[in-house]
Amino acid sequence: MTDGLLAGTGVTAPVPAVSLEGITKRFGAIVACDAVDLDLHRGRIHGVLGENGAGKSTLMKMMIGLVFPDDGAIFVDGIRCYITDPQVAAGHGIAMVHQHFSLVDPLTVWENIALGDGGRLDPGDVRERVGEISEHYGLAIDPDARVGDLPAGLRQRVEIIKCLRRDPDILIFDEPTSVLTPEESVQLFDSLRRVVTDEGRAVALVSHKLDEIIQATDDVTIMRQGVVVDRLRTVDADTPMLARSMVGRPVSLRSERAAFGVLDPSVEGPDEPAAPITAEEPVLRVVDAVVHGRHGQASLDGFSLDVRPGEIVGVAGVEDNGQAELADVLSSLVTLQRGHVEVDATTVAAGRPGAMARAGVAVIPADRHDSGIVLDMTVAENLILVDPKRMARAGVLDSDLVRNLALRLIDEFEIQCWGPDAPLWSLSGGNQQRVVLARELSHQPKVLVAAQPTRGLDVGAIEYMTERLRRAAEDGVGVVLISSELEEILDLSHRIVVMSRGRVIGEMGRADVDRDRLALMLGGRAA
Amino acid sequence: MSDSTKVRSDTADQTQAGVTRASVLPVAEIVTLYAASILAALVVSALLVEITGGSWRTVFSALLDGSIRNPGRWGTTIGTAIPLLLVALGTIVNAKAGLVNIGQEGQLLVGGAFGAYVMIHLDAPGTVVFVALVAAAIVGGAVWAGIAAVLRYWRNVPEVLTTLLLVSVAAQLVGFGFKRESILLAPLPEGSATQVQQTVPVPEGARLSRVTVLGNEFPISAFVALALAAFLAFVLARTVWGFRLRMLGRNPRTAHRAGVSSQRYGIVAMLISGAFAGLAGAFMLTGGDFGSYRFSPNFAVNIGWTGLLVALVARERALFAIVIAFVFAGLRTGSGFLASTGVERRITDVVQALLVLALLVPPAVLFVRERRRAASATRART
Amino acid sequence: MSSFVGAIGDVLSSDAAYISAISFAALLGFGAVGEWVAEKSGTLNISIEAMLLAGAFAAAVGYDLTSNLAVGAVFGIVAGMAVASAQAELSHRLPADQFVVGLALNILVLGLAGFLDGELEPVTRRAPRVEIPLLSDIPLVGDAFFGQPWLLYLVYAFVPMAWWLVYRTRWGLEVRAAGENPQSADVSGIRVNLRRRQSIYVAGLTSGLGGAYLSLALVGSFEDSIVGGRGFIAIAAVIFGGWTLRGTVAGCLLFGSVLSFRLSLPVLGYNLNNELLTSLPFIATIVGMALFAHRVRPPAALARPFIRGLQ
């Protein structure tokens, strides 16, 4: 049994599989990682915990050669290494399962798994190896399936096999459960345990979810603002303590539960979200919507949803079950094969440019770069994207009007930038998100669709965003919260619908939430 | 208002936001990059001249004589710059919409042909003929670009290729027009045995009047072109239409959600682009600096291609295109003086293309550097 | 109408018509095979036209110097690769717009060809036909496919080689990944822009050789209008073929046949309008793309630059 993680106790331990010493990485004025030490040991799962933006991803990227450290040293089995690119990392037996997949959709499973290897391409050999790995770890997969046709859970399986195929000594998992059902997550951690105990590999599990760290890891290192603030054995840790250490101040797990991924019922406070006004007619109705996806299968398959003014409806579900298409429909980006959308009892032509926005549907898209902002335009321009006519006289934009609006919104939403004329690409992700929020709320919407609104934001920004969503609902806006983070849904919603394979498979009021039933439904079973 | 000033001073201090204005513009660096690139293009051109037995000094001197130094030459250069600028302005419109139009040579030719056809067949007072000619040319250019636009949105055919292929078709279409006197061909002059493929000249009354400034003469369309450049710059920067067009070019999905129909705006942008090329053809026909007021199969004489290069160098800035159009026009008028130096005049085509390639380098370098800086500063911890 | 049907019948039963159709299809094939590889990697490489022209010119120079076809061909390849290097380095080392680079290269090479044309001897260089025994005796089409100058036979080798390269080698797998999802490819440890540059070099190689075939075998002399937009038709063949190699070859055969009408129809005694005959290949190409382009899916990252750390 190793004690190496108890740094500073003077206990000598076997040589760690990977040892990071004094790793520092600066980006401009910002220090992403500041003299970080980290040891990964064979046979152990090491959790790296931190809020979004704490520097944990950067740290992992340096281990696999996507980022090169400014200072410090990396030792693999006690030997100093210079990991300049992912190939070198692979040579040292380090591999990573990426948060955003490294898969190429039109290629087959075996082609994807062979991608990035060296040497001659031997399809038979790759297929055989895929078969062996799937069998050994219980990760069944068809090597000739096209990756683009697979659901997110299976795609991650491909990713893991791709990783294991190179027989790495050290595996890094970056936020692996965001695309998995609770059941699949349990399976994943079972496989991980086997990888670690039976085969003596070292695993790093990067996460911002406290529950996950507690359940799956042996050791945990906590990072905050680029610095390691704590390291301990997981058995010695509990949720409130980890949370405190992660944020650097005592926190109420109830109100900030969403940020920590905590489902533990014991930390749930008594104050459930206020019951919504139910008498009113729905402000948004999606009726029997059908949308066909890339390969002809239905991405939305008879989806229906009612949202009343002042109500926050959480659309829960594992990623890739039609949430993106739902958001696209409400952004006028796709047409419906069947069904219709009503706003205020008036049918809105889905897919017609700008129709939803004109009808009063505001959207905070999951990927703002895709349909929320124009990076090459200024902050001011991005703030008037949806309805520039309001800022114009006889078709000519009134620059004073635009500037004043921009200054007002920059102030009100605390957008950090050097002025209304700053190009949007010069803003940080969180501030870009605020630009979207400011614009969408400035139109006095009837409906607000927020798709994965807190993804990639740090705790402060998450609090701000959730507060804004609550306030919008209090002002009488019907809010649709689409999220794969169950905690976020539970934290905010008055009513929860569960989405699986493009349809609603269950619905419950916030007060009637039954976790077991919810978990079952997330797995795709009506309950 | 006091509120807003407070915000500005606050945000200016936010180094955490990553990029401040100063770090976006390392001026000395930019100037050096551009100077080095232009110099490289010129040195390569000079080497080519020397290798083929010419002398770059005499070539340079002849180019200068032909473009601005000799009496009356800068007037001719202005006359040449007019269609170049117009073609470039049209190109800026489609580029802003995110579309690629590289078939201006054909659009200009078709525009000229339409104009010439109307001119030949319309028996009316000069002014009426002029107006009809210009209108027809605009329509001709727009139609030719419109085909590519429609195929792009209706059948998903890449407009970059269609516009190119239509250049070849345009040449044949015009060639066909010169098969018959009923279409474009001028009747055989009495006493002449050889049929020249050209139209009758534009009647006196339908020609653009020419002004003389300091012994340099050019058509008044120069002022029209300048006005159009200013107007276009204004429309793109300040109007709702221009704003939405830019939105479409930069992020079509965001634009769609915000109510910009890519089809409507895209097709209109291509029509305008072709219309500018057609207008360039009309002004060439009526201006006097090209083909002595006659339309002929090789009427376009690379003005479409060169105008396109002007737009590429100007990088979507209408007012900057004025300067570049004049420079490239100078290379062209200067090349007429190269015969005495013994150097093939097409060296100027080479110089132009090399300049375009060289001028691609600095913005590309700066783009990567700027964005990397911003990206690393803002995404430092993710 | 009956004369039109008659013309088709005559064309289909004429050896000479097949010979010229295959000759033009081969020219397009040289360009299109390389272009197909380049497009698979994510580049819509419009400088094929310049590569063909540079290859044609350099091959003529090489042949004049040595009177050796093979040397001419090597000169052609080198020139094609030179154009490819400019396209590759500017658009995939710097992220300059690939269309702008391609267009400028087309104009540059055309200008150079016109500028240097006078330095060439105005002589005819015509590679002899090499008949492949037995195969060239196949009635009607034997000579067309197997009684051609040996330079043409190289395109027969290029097609299966390109297929093997793209679908059966690791390099090809990485090229496809770079064209479909450069971000994922990058994360997997693939040097996306290197693969893209290499693919453009492949296009330079085949097109340079195509240029040599053009000036040394098909036409037999050099003039600056020798390519005349046919490089663009080669690109269109790839799109017409829906980015499959089979479809690309079909496109080359189809468009090559239409190109050959201008030569074969007058020989057969049909005096169609010359302008129509000349523009027919271009119109056929546009119509062909309009009929088929909307049904197929291009490589997802076609014509999108890749810069690590952005996007």
Choice between C119 and B331, residue whose per-residue pLDDT is larger: B331
Q: Does A52 touch chain B (CB under 8 A)?
A: yes
Residue C175 maps to a domain: yes
Torsion of CA C169, C172, C177, C178, to 10 degrees: 140
Taking alpha carbons only, the member of B102, B58, B108, B61 closest to residue B84 is: B108
Q: Name chain B contacts of A52, Cβ cutoff 8 Å.
A: 382
pLDDT confidence bin for B153, thresholds 50/70/90: very high
Q: Does C307 touch chain B (CB under 8 A)?
A: yes
Q: Does B244 touch chain A (CB under 8 A)?
A: yes
Residue C64 maps to a domain: yes
Q: Does A376 touch chain C (CB under 8 A)?
A: no
In chain A, which among 12-41 make CB contacts under 8 A with chain B? 26-32
My answer on whether A113 and A51 are in the same domain is: no
Please measure the distance between the N-terminal and C-terminal CA atoms of chain A and give it in whole angstroms. 44
Residue A266 maps to a domain: no
CA distance A458 to chain B (A): 10
The neighbour count for residue A514, using CB atoms within 10 Å, is: 11
Task: Tell me the backbone φ, ψ of residue C142, rounded to 5 degrees.
Answer: -55, -50
Q: Name chain B contacts of A373, Cβ cutoff 8 Å.
A: 251, 254
Query: Domain holding A325: CATH number?
Result: 3.40.50.300
Q: Name chain B contacts of C111, Cβ cutoff 8 Å.
A: 346-350, 352-353
pLDDT at B16: 39
Q: How is residue C170 written in tokens? A: 């690791």
| DSSP conformation letters of A261-272 | T---GGG--S-P
pLDDT at B12 over 50: no
Q: Name chain A contacts of B373, Cβ cutoff 8 Å.
A: 28
d(CA A12, CA A2): 9
CB contact under 8 A, A395 and B241: yes
Q: How is residue B66 written in tokens? A: 């032909």
Instruction: Domain ranges for chain B, please list them.
Output: 29-70+343-368, 73-336
pLDDT tens, position by position, for chain A (527 residues)? 444 444 444 445 678 899 999 999 887 666 788 999 999 999 999 999 887 667 888 898 889 887 888 899 999 998 999 988 778 888 899 988 876 668 898 999 999 999 888 788 889 999 998 998 888 887 888 999 999 888 777 888 898 888 888 888 899 998 888 777 777 888 888 888 888 888 889 999 988 778 888 888 999 999 988 899 999 999 888 888 888 888 777 665 555 555 565 554 444 443 445 555 555 789 999 999 999 876 556 789 999 999 999 999 999 988 778 888 999 999 999 999 999 999 999 999 988 999 999 999 999 998 888 889 999 999 999 999 998 998 999 999 999 999 999 999 999 998 888 889 999 988 877 788 899 999 999 989 999 999 988 876 766 777 888 899 999 999 999 999 998 877 788 889 999 999 888 889 888 888 887 777 777 777 766 65
Among positive and negative, which fits the CA dihedral B30, B36, B42, B45? negative
How many domains are there within chain C?
1
pLDDT at A526: 62
Beta strand A338-343 with A284-292: parallel, antiparallel or unpaired?
antiparallel
Which residues on adjacent β-strands are paired with residue A171? A95, A203
My answer on whether A362 and A440 are in the same domain is: yes
My answer on whether A323 and A441 are in the same domain is: yes
The ipTM value here is 0.89
Rounded mean pLDDT, B244-268: 95
Which residues on adjacent β-strands are paired with residue B239? A396
My answer on whether A301 and A431 are in the same domain is: yes
CB contact under 8 A, C184 and A104: yes
Rounded mean pLDDT, C84-92: 95
Q: Does B157 touch chain C (CB under 8 A)?
A: yes
pLDDT digits (tens, 9 = 90+) for C61-84: 999 999 899 999 999 999 999 999
pLDDT at C21 over 50: yes
Q: Does B309 touch chain C (CB under 8 A)?
A: yes
Q: Does B250 touch chain A (CB under 8 A)?
A: yes
Of B246, B261, B377, the CB nearest to A30: B377
d(CA A211, CA A234): 11
pLDDT at B1: 36
Of chain B, the percentage scoring pLDDT greater than 90 comes to: 64
Residue A194 maps to a domain: no
Rounded mean pLDDT, C90-111: 92
pLDDT at B14: 37
Residue in chain A closest to C169 (alpha carbons) equals A121
Q: Which of A231, A251, A271 is the last residue of a domain?
A: A251
Rounded mean pLDDT, B116-127: 92
Of C119, C285, C309, the CB nearest to B375: C309
CB contact under 8 A, A385 and B11: no
Burial class (CB in 10 A: 0-12, 13-18, 19+), A173: buried
Cα-based distances in Å from C150 to B159, C126, C144, C155 = 36, 12, 12, 10
My answer on whether A391 and A486 are in the same domain is: yes
Beta strand A219-224 with A45-49: parallel, antiparallel or unpaired?
parallel
Cα-based distances in Å from C138 to A114, B35, B366, C135 = 44, 63, 61, 6
pLDDT digits (tens, 9 = 90+) for C158-184: 999 999 999 999 999 999 999 999 989
CB contact under 8 A, C44 and B160: yes
Q: What is the DSSP letter of A378?
A: B
Range of the domain at C224: 2-295
d(CA A447, CA A440): 10
My answer on whether A121 and A15 are in the same domain is: no
Q: Does C184 touch chain A (CB under 8 A)?
A: yes
Task: Tell me the backbone φ, ψ of residue A78, rounded to 5 degrees.
Answer: 85, 0
d(CA A476, CA A446): 8
pLDDT at A253: 56
My answer on whether A115 and A70 are in the same domain is: no
Burial class (CB in 10 A: 0-12, 13-18, 19+), A9: exposed
CA distance B189 to chain C (A): 25
Degrees, nearest 5: CA angle C197-C199-C202: 115
Q: Name chain A contacts of C311, Cβ cutoff 8 Å.
A: 369
pLDDT at B11 over 70: no
Of C115, C236, C294, the CB nearest to B161: C236
Q: Which residues contact C109 (CB under 8 A, 6 or more apart)?
A: C49, C50, C53, C54, C83
pLDDT digits (tens, 9 = 90+) for C182-239: 989 988 888 999 999 999 999 999 999 999 999 999 988 888 889 989 999 999 999 9
Query: Domain holding C132: CATH number?
Result: 1.10.3470
Residue of C39, C174, C183, C184 to mutate, interface with A, max A Cβ within 10 Å: C184
Q: Name chain C contacts of B362, Cβ cutoff 8 Å.
A: none
In chain A, which among 104-123 make CB contacts under 8 A with chain C? 104-107, 111, 114-121
> Which CATH number does B73-336 carry?
1.10.3470
Q: Name chain A contacts of B11, Cβ cutoff 8 Å.
A: 410, 416-419
8 A C-beta contact, residue C290 and residue B157? yes
CA distance C232 to chain A (A): 27
CB contact under 8 A, B251 and A374: yes
CB contact under 8 A, B382 and A381: no
CA distance C114 to chain B (A): 6
How many domains are there within chain A?
3
8 A C-beta contact, residue A56 and residue A205? no
My answer on whether A203 and A345 are in the same domain is: no
My answer on whether A340 and A436 are in the same domain is: yes
Residue of C181, C244, C304, C307 to mutate, interface with A, max A Cβ within 10 Å: C181
Q: Does B94 touch chain C (CB under 8 A)?
A: no
Of C168, C176, C189, the CB nearest to A87: C189
My answer on whether A421 and A517 are in the same domain is: yes
Range of the domain at A213: 1-93+170-181+199-251
CA distance A123 to chain C (A): 9
CB contact under 8 A, A106 and C169: no
Q: Does A356 touch chain B (CB under 8 A)?
A: yes
My answer on whether A291 and A247 are in the same domain is: no
